[in-house]
């Protein structure tokens, strides 16, 4: 039996590069996944999914995705902290200063970059915000419309 992968078409997307819908569907199907348009009838496709919430039982590929997404977010957070610390030290050293690593003999020079080549992935993900974050890339409304319960992620309004 093919794996079930829920795909909800993205709306109001700006400045992103995505695979064409058919190409994405072909990619998922080649990986052994069956593409479905929404999560409304997942229980019909796989009885292990409850009608009260898709997250009741998460399939192995979905669980691996969640683990990898969390790992990526932790790495990005660490990268941001390291980049900020590195920038502070480079400012302390000053422009056009050289430093050599005695272990590897690599030489570094503090410069003003001339620009960057930016590469956008052909497939990526967005997610709802955590309780600690001000906003996420995926709205609660979109998640709820796809059949997910996100009440636990919403901040309680205080007066």
pLDDT tens-digit readout, 3-36: 555 554 444 444 444 555 666 666 666 665 555 5
- Parent domain of 25: 3-149
Q: Is residue 159 part of a domain?
A: no
Q: Is residue 135 part of a domain?
A: yes
pLDDT for the residue numbered 73: 95
Q: Say which range, 19-28, 74-83, 106-115, 146-155, has the weakest mean pLDDT.
A: 19-28
Pairwise pLDDT comparison (51 vs 109), residue with the higher score: 109
Beta bridge partners of 108: 99
Query: If pLDDT is split at 50, 70 and 90, which confidence band does 45 have?
Result: low
Q: Is residue 7 part of a domain?
A: yes
Q: Indicate the number of domains in the chain.
A: 1
pLDDT for the residue numbered 68: 95
Judge whether 147 and 43 are in contact, CB under 8 Å: no
User: H-type helices in the chain, by residue range?
Assistant: 21-30, 42-45, 60-93, 140-145
pLDDT in tens, 51-103: 455 454 567 899 999 999 999 999 999 999 999 999 999 999 998 888 898 88
State pTM to two decimals. 0.50
Q: Is residue 155 part of a domain?
A: no
Q: Is residue 157 part of a domain?
A: no
Judge whether 51 and 43 are in contact, CB under 8 Å: yes
Q: Is residue 154 part of a domain?
A: no
Q: Is residue 158 part of a domain?
A: no
Q: Is residue 119 part of a domain?
A: yes
């Amino acid at each position: 039996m093919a794996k079930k992968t829920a795909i909800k078409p993205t709306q109001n997307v700006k400045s992103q590069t995505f695979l064409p819908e058919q190409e994405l569907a072909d990619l998922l199907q080649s990986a052994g996944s069956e593409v479905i348009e929404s999560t409304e009838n997942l229980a019909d496709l796989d009885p292990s999914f409850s009608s009260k919430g898709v997250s009741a039982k998460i399939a192995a590929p979905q669980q691996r995705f969640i683990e990898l997404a969390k790992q990526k977010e932790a790495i990005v957070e660490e990268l941001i902290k390291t980049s900020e610390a590195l920038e502070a030290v480079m400012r302390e050293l000053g422009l056009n200063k050289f430093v050599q690593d005695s272990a590897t003999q690599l030489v570094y020079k503090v410069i003003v970059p001339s620009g960057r080549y930016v590469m956008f992935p052909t497939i990526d993900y967005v997610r709802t915000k955590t309780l600690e974050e001000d906003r996420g890339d995926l709205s609660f409304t979109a998640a709820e419309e796809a059949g997910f319960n996100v009440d636990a992620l919403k901040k309680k309004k205080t007066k």
